[in-house]
Every structure is written in C-alpha cells, then in structure tokens.
Amino acid sequence: MCGRVIVRTTIAGLINSFTFAHRKEGDGLDDLPPRYNGSPRQDYPLIIHEDDVEGPVFVSANWGFIPGWMKDPKGGARPINAKSETVATNGMFRHAYKSRRALMPIDGFFEWKAIKGSKITQPYAIAMKSLQPFCIAGIWEHWFDHEVGRRVRTFCVLTCPANDLMQAIHERMPVILHPEDYQRWIANIEPDPNDLLTPFPSELMTMWPVSSKVGNPRNNTSDVVEEITLPPENGL
C-alpha cells in the first residue's frame, strides 16, 4: 500500500517540473506546506482535467477518497488506496477511474519492512534515482461536505504489485507513471487504460532506510527523510 509521501518540492517547483499543466484560479495551492512526512487526510497538489477548464490543471485535494454518492455526513471509510487489479470494477472507484483520473506529484514515499523475529518494522524512503519529483496514479471525486457547506475534492492512490526493488520490503507499491504517459492517464478519453497500471522499473528507483520518526505524522521536518545506518541484521 501507499500511506506516506514526501512532497518537499515547492508548488512553483512542481509547476516548473510538470510544465504541461497550469494553475487554476482559486486552486488553494498557496496554503499547502511542504510534506516531508505526508499522511492521509491532508491536502496535496494534484494534476487533473476539469470540464470547465482548458488543459491539465494543478488543484488542491484531500487524501482519502469519498465517492460523490456517499450519504454519510463524515464521508464514510475514506480509503487512501485502490487496487489497480479491481479499480475498474469496484463500485466505490469505477466511475472515478473511468472519468476522473489524477496525477499526484511527489518526491518520494515511505514503506515499512517487517524484521524477522521482531515486532519492530524498519521504514524506508523510496524515490527516483534522479531525486526529481515524479507522478503516481490516482483517482479523484467531488463530494458535498454538509458540515462546511461546500464541495470538497478528495482522492486516492492506485497500487500495483511490487517491482524487484520494492519486493525486498513490501508486496505492493504505488502505480508510478512514465512521463510520456502522464497526459494519456488524465485525458479521460480511454475508460480503462489498464496497460499503464504496472510496476515501475526498479533500475530507475532508489531507496534508503530512515529513522522511526517517520512513524509519527507530526514529525514533518526535513531530517525525517535522511538516511540512517542499520545494523547488519536489520538490513536488506
């Protein structure tokens, strides 16, 4: 699964990195802080298509998917991930997958490795070898929040089986898209571009062990992503 991300690049930096998208008026992006240890139920920049705006746009959205038909005033369970193998048929996700796909620009994500014979898990940061921001696949939806009296945009991240790099620590990973597929994914012309939902090549990625501080989402400082030295018995 994917439940923690790194978004330390500024909004201006993301816009400079993904020049095919532009800002939407009133996008709410200026209020977003850096996320060195980003967790669900927080707001993040997304790249999407909207019917009333020309071209891909950056917008703000909350991580934790709520389908538009949800009647629960609190939004229900709010899943943060959707499996790529079932997203096209799952009743909660299928309509958003067909017509409201998103790119989530990030600098990296975290995953935890179980330590054999111990209840302790070791967190790792995973990123591109270039350390440049990249995009993972998501779906989004509008939902009317009666508590605040307005529509809110929510999203979740798609996951797929782990590649060779990730298999050393976990069986699944977020769907990372190749840059040449970004606009195809969000164009919403194809109802089921499932050929894109595959493990990203291991040779383009890197990962390193980080402190257990990442376990607490309140630790949102740059040192959370710094590499630590592990004892041999806890290494890969």
Find the farthest-apart pair of alpha carbons in the chain and give their distance in angstroms, rounded: 56
28 pLDDT more than 90: no
Query: Regarding the domain delimited by 5-234, which CATH topology (the fold level of the hierarchy) does it fall under?
Result: hypothetical protein yedk fold (3.90.1680)
CA distances from 215 to 30, 78, 124, 190 (A): 27, 21, 11, 38
Which residues are catalytically annotated?
2, 111
pLDDT tens track for 84-93: 999 999 999 9
User: What pLDDT shows up at residue 10?
Assistant: 94
Mean pLDDT of 45-56: 87
pLDDT tens track for 210-220: 999 999 999 99
Give φ, ψ of 212 to 5 degrees: -65, -5
